[in-house]
Structure 1
Amino acid sequence: MARIKPQALLQQSKRKKGPARISPMTMMFYGLILVLVVFFLYASYRHWSNRSRFNSDNHLSVSEGDAFLDARKSDLPGYAVVNTSKGSIVIELHKESAPEVVDEFIDLCQKGHFKGMLFNRVIKHYVIQAGDGQGTGTTEDWSLRGKQSTSMKHEAFMLGTSKGKHTNKGFNLFITTAPIPDLNEKLVVFGQVIKGEDVVQEIEEVDTDEHYNPKISIGILDVTLRQKI
């Protein structure tokens, strides 16, 4: 058996312990994986960062919008004092239930639309009306529907007007003097008398002709808007 020289054994040992060489393809593979991991982390960061910013901006916009609406609602008058030739009637406006009608009513009050408006139709234990009666049907029709209906949506001393779009002359006022039917959905209620019920009843008791027109002139002197009473 031939002996291996010590020098050959040393060289053979160095070859076994030396580091294995990595091929260029392997290096490119691992490099590509590293690039993909970095790109994924960056994309995830951008996504969650933009989402957080959007939610923050959206919440801010909603909060500002709500604050604007709340401020606008608080700026609107909450009460109207209807000064008539028989006395004053204080009405609380229903801003929440009929906002568009209340806005229109306030605008007309500021323009002096109701000054000099007459109560031209009075039905005892039913309703008093100021303004033009056209567009709401005849009073006889109301009475007939009232006897046939069991709905009691309109309580006593409620302020309403005819439904639908109004011209300046078409915005009339109705104040109920008893719980009455919904008048076949012809009226929208937007206020309630909180003071001056006796004035409403005094107007209700005036003498009328066969068409429910008062024999004496009773009118609105003016309407004053107030934030508080």
Structure 2
Amino acid sequence: MARIKPQTLLLQSKKKKGPTRISVTTIILCNLIVVLIVLSLLATYRHWSRRSGDQGETGLSTLEDSDAFVDSKKYDLPGYAIITTSKGSITVELYKDGSPETVDKFLDLCQKGHFKGMPFHHVIKNYVIQGGHSQGHGAAEDWTSKVKPHSQSPKHEAFMLGTSKTKSDGKGFDLFITTAPIPDLNDKLIVFGRVIKGEDVVQEIEEVDTDEHYRPKADIGIINVTLKRRI
């Protein structure tokens, strides 16, 4: 049997262990794949960043344009409401801290469109204007006969926004706007806001002609309510 020379074994070993050559085409393809992966990751990041921003803007736009209600755990609740009436717009500041439950109910009803088309069915000069879907007598009309002329009780100031305590269901959520400082109505009225713009509109509604039951002779009411986080 012929012996293999040591030099031949060394050459064969080097051939087996030598690195495999990588073609230029393979290197280019690998680089292209890496670049595509990086670009894909960047595009995905930008997409989700833009989507998150759009969602935030959409939430604010919805509030301002369509009487929407926002979960207080995720966003700040609206602090203002613009009540558009057939006589003009009334801007009110909501007492989120002073009357949180009533404000929450008001915002929820705004979302449901409860106040759209609501008429002002009682108008009492130098007292209040009352809007609601109930056309029965009572509420503000009854209060006038119970007020003590020389009461020393605290007073609700003019242009305060409130609702009746006697009705807790959605249909009974009437709106009251005082037109003058009036004796204490804490047993009847929950104040949850005040008019900061549009006092002249309130006064114009107050001056409409009414019958003997304080009901306006001409139709007058709320067209829409728009919520805002800031003015």
Q: TM-score range by the shorter chain?
A: 0.5 to 0.7
| Alpha-carbon distance, 1:150 to partner | 2.6
1:17-59 alpha-carbon deviations (Å, 9 max, x no partner): xxxxxxxxxxxxxxxxxxxxxxxxxxxxxxxxxxxxxxxxxxx
Q: State the partner residue of 2:216.
A: 214
RMSD (Å), alpha carbons: 2.1
| Alpha-carbon distance, 1:92 to partner | 0.1
Computing the radius of gyration from Cα coordinates, the structure with the larger value is 1
Mapping of 1:69-80 within 5 angstroms? 72=73, 75-80=76-81
Give 3-state SS (helix, strand or coil) of 1:117's partner. Answer: coil
Query: Within the alignment, does 1:110 sit opposite 2:111 as a pair?
Result: yes
Native 8 Å contact 2:79 2:94 kept in 1: yes
**Partners of 2:190 and 2:137 in 1: CA distance:** 11
- The residue type paired with residue 160 of structure 2 is M
Native 8 Å contact 2:122 2:141 kept in 1: no
Native 8 Å contact 2:121 2:135 kept in 1: no
Mapping of 1:5-154 within 5 angstroms? 72=73, 75-132=76-133, 137-148=138-149, 149-154=151-156
Which TM-score applies when normalising by structure 2?
A: 0.64
Q: State the partner residue of 1:173.
A: 175
Q: Structure 1 residues 199, 215: closer, same or farther in 2, change over 3 A?
A: same
Moved more, 185-194 or 145-154: 145-154
Native 8 Å contact 2:92 2:197 kept in 1: yes
**Partners of 1:210 and 1:191 in 2: CA distance:** 29
Give 3-state SS (helix, strand or coil) of 2:213's partner. Answer: coil
1 or 2, which has the higher helix percentage? 1
Native 8 Å contact 1:136 1:162 kept in 2: no
**Partners of 2:136 and 2:164 in 1: CA distance:** 8
**Partners of 1:152 and 1:136 in 2: CA distance:** 26
| Alpha-carbon distance, 1:72 to partner | 3.9
Native 8 Å contact 2:130 2:140 kept in 1: no
Q: Structure 1 residues 77, 140: closer, same or farther in 2, change over 3 A?
A: closer
Work out the number of aligned pairs and report it.
159
Moved more, 118-127 or 132-141: 132-141
**Partners of 2:160 and 2:137 in 1: CA distance:** 17
Q: State the partner residue of 1:156.
A: 158
Q: Structure 1 residues 104, 157: closer, same or farther in 2, change over 3 A?
A: same
**Partners of 1:203 and 1:111 in 2: CA distance:** 25
Q: State the partner residue of 1:182.
A: 184
Give 3-state SS (helix, strand or coil) of 1:188's partner. Answer: strand
Which TM-score applies when normalising by structure 1?
A: 0.64
**Partners of 1:216 and 1:156 in 2: CA distance:** 24
Unmatched 5+ stretches in structure 1: 1-70
**Partners of 1:136 and 1:96 in 2: CA distance:** 32
- The residue type paired with residue 222 of structure 2 is I
Native 8 Å contact 1:78 1:92 kept in 2: yes
- The residue type paired with residue 187 of structure 1 is L
Identity percentage of aligned residues: 70
Give 3-state SS (helix, strand or coil) of 1:200's partner. Answer: helix
| Alpha-carbon distance, 1:133 to partner | 5.4
Unmatched 5+ stretches in structure 2: 1-71
Give 3-state SS (helix, strand or coil) of 1:75's partner. Answer: coil
Moved more, 129-138 or 217-226: 129-138
